[in-house]
Structure 1
Amino acid sequence: MIELIGLIMVIGFLLLIYMLREAFLNNIKYEEICFEDYPEAAGPLTIFFISDIHRRKISDRIISGIDGKADIVVIGGDLTEKGVSFKRVEENILKLKGLGPVYFIWGNNDYEVEERTFRNLLESNGVILIENTSLLLEGSGSHPVALIGVEDLSLGRDDIEKAFDGVPEKSFRILLAHNPDTIKKLRKEHKVSLMLSGHTHGGQIRILGFGMYQKGNLSIIAGTFVLVSNGYGTTALPLRLGAPPETHLITIKGT
């Protein structure tokens, strides 16, 4: 019996070490998606998408792996959370700024910090906030690429109709929404081609392949490509199992 207990303790300790190691991996997933409705006059657009950073410090390995490859950077929410120093947040922002223009949407944990200070930090570092609104990328011509951002669904701060107000009828639409359940609020007339989300951490800890949430993936839902990321950081405990952290270099272009 003592030997069995000892064996269980050793296995448990080794599993804990493995989960801790997995939580701090630095993965870049490369996605290339072709769209029939992508503007003919526009060249390929490459987006570095990173979500759910939380308490992590972005590794220089991630930055060097992306350097010179991205046109824009999108932070998909949960850049921070309660207890994270603004100094750490600013260090992460400055690293991402070196890759290209940075766009940000709010996640539920971002609201845990002092909002005015956080907002000032983002704006003073040139981060572009997309809050239930949209913007058009430069050089898109008469058939622009629109970035549409909604605030967090779980806190009831999202406003889909406000976000889409003023988006040109003829535009290629990319929706940025921290919570992937936002897809349930979309209608056919919103004409979203691609949606980028995080929030779920892929379940973070999956036992025998099962977790609280589906593992991150790229899928097609009602004609919309939906990328849900496992995210870069962790919540509650710095542990992962079966849902490794990930960032994404996404290239979108016409067929």
Structure 2
Amino acid sequence: MSITVFNTLLIVSVALDLLVAGAVLLRPWPSAERTSPRKIGFARFVLALSLIAVLLVGRGLIVWPVTRSEFAAMRVVYVTLVVSLPLIGAGLLALAVRGRLLQRRYQVSWAVRASGFLMLMFAPLGAYATFVEPFQLVLETVEVKLAPAREGDRPVRIAVLADLQTNHITDYEVGAVEQLLTLEPHVILLPGDVFHGTAEEFSRERSALRGLLSRLDAPGGVYLVKGNTDVPSRLAAAIEGTSVILLDNELAATEVEGRRLVIGGIGFDYRTAQAQAVIDQLELAEGDEDVRILMAHTPDAVRVLRPNTRVDLLVAGHTHGGQVVIPFFGPPLTYSKLPRHIAGGGLHELEGRRVYVSRGVGCERGLGPRVRFLCPPEITLLVLEN
């Protein structure tokens, strides 16, 4: 299903919600009661919401078989919450005011008025989550302590630019790269999901994307792994002629600030024989002096590392931090099997295995809702020191 058709479906869905709500809440009263104020009570309000919920389920049953995308279903729910419900809430409040001004033509109960006000509040929340927070890029600076046996006494600065996940290069993406370069990192890591769009969109953005990636440079190198939205041929075209090195189940060694770093990069499927071979080389190679880093798109790769592994740090993205965080609960959905507090982002340790999960720069694209709430995008500076 094209995005144009899908957006048209969403508009029709909102209109249908409003028609159903209007039919239930404003249906004519019996003729004997027409001279009395028309009452909109809580029971009728609940009935209207129940019918809208039924319509929502019906849309899901239509959208899922056609798109095979849970993100499309999420967008349907999101539009209902931040467009349909606020419009209904605004209508109820308008009726309450109009009823008072025009000899109480409508009598809206206080429970319905309060509910309408709460529904109306979803609109500014949706506007913030869609148009504000997705562009409030923050810098996360994290100290990573190395074992005393690691050679060298100067800190190493590693910048992480995860999940750019764009389908159009704008000032936002350019600003993210510029801000990252001001950190003067020794190494730059890109844990995948560089581009998320159609073949037509990539053809249009290819030159701009390559120009953006060509700006990335660091003394110790710029390294990339493939994410689940990255098409291999497009990714190769995007980094052609740049300093970015794709690690496709491969190892790379570099020296910066008197330290030797060995960086392993594995594919999205971290359980393949090729990925495991890279992990084995990092874990089993002799020596305590070098710093060993594993980069994977998904943080779930930490589960295949041995407890108290020789790998100093796993760097990953993929989860976007969940994009939506509920206070005192965390992200409801992370697409990771790790505990929510780990998949939600940051530096964590799991049985002696350290992992840093970036919330990423971009958002889900395609048919999914572009939304972030209490989960701002990030670029990261990891400072490795003894």
Per the normalisation by structure 2, the TM-score is 0.58
Q: 160, 163, 169: which one pairs with 2:278?
A: 163
SS state at 1:226 partner: strand
Q: Report the counterpart of residue 243 of structure 2 in structure 1.
A: 126
Q: 39, 44, 55: which one pairs with 2:150?
A: 39
Could you tell me the percent identity over the aligned residues? 25
Distance 1:139 1:51, change over 3 A: closer
Are 2:182 and 1:67 aligned? yes
Q: Report the counterpart of residue 160 of structure 2 in structure 1.
A: 49
Q: Report the counterpart of residue 212 of structure 1 in structure 2.
A: 333
- Please show how residues 120-199 of structure 1 align to structure 2 within 5 Å: 120-138=237-255, 144-153=260-269, 159-164=274-279, 167=282, 168-170=285-287, 171-188=290-307, 191-199=310-318
Are 2:246 and 1:246 aligned? no
Q: How many residues align?
A: 249
Distance 2:189 2:291 in 1: 17
Distance 1:222 1:46, change over 3 A: same
Q: Report the counterpart of residue 320 of structure 2 in structure 1.
A: 201
Single out whichever of 44-53 and 97-106 deviates more from structure 2.
97-106
Structure 1 residue 130: Cα displacement: 0.9
Single out whichever of 130-139 and 83-92 deviates more from structure 2.
83-92
Name structure 1 gaps, 5 residues minimum: none
Name structure 2 gaps, 5 residues minimum: 1-39, 41-91, 94-112, 335-339
Distance 1:174 1:89 in 2: 27
Question: Deviation digits for residues 178-221 of structure 1, max 9, x if unmatched?
Answer: 10111111124851111111111111123344421232121111
Distance 1:207 1:158 in 2: 38
Single out whichever of 122-131 and 93-102 deviates more from structure 2.
93-102
Q: Report the counterpart of residue 107 of structure 1 in structure 2.
A: 227
8 Å contact from structure 1 (residues 79, 89) kept in 2 = no
Q: Report the counterpart of residue 224 of structure 1 in structure 2.
A: 353
Distance 2:178 2:255 in 1: 24
Distance 1:147 1:109, change over 3 A: same
SS state at 1:116 partner: helix
RMSD of aligned residue pairs (Cα, Å): 2.7
- AA aligned to 2:267 is E
Q: Report the counterpart of residue 217 of structure 2 in structure 1.
A: 97
Q: Larger relative CO (CA 8 A, sep 6+): 1 or 2?
A: 1
Distance 1:95 1:164 in 2: 30
SS state at 1:77 partner: coil
Distance 1:9 1:166 in 2: 56
Question: Deviation digits for residues 142-189 of structure 1, max 9, x if unmatched?
Answer: x732101111027x6673332146554223211101101111111248
Larger-gyration structure (1/2): 2
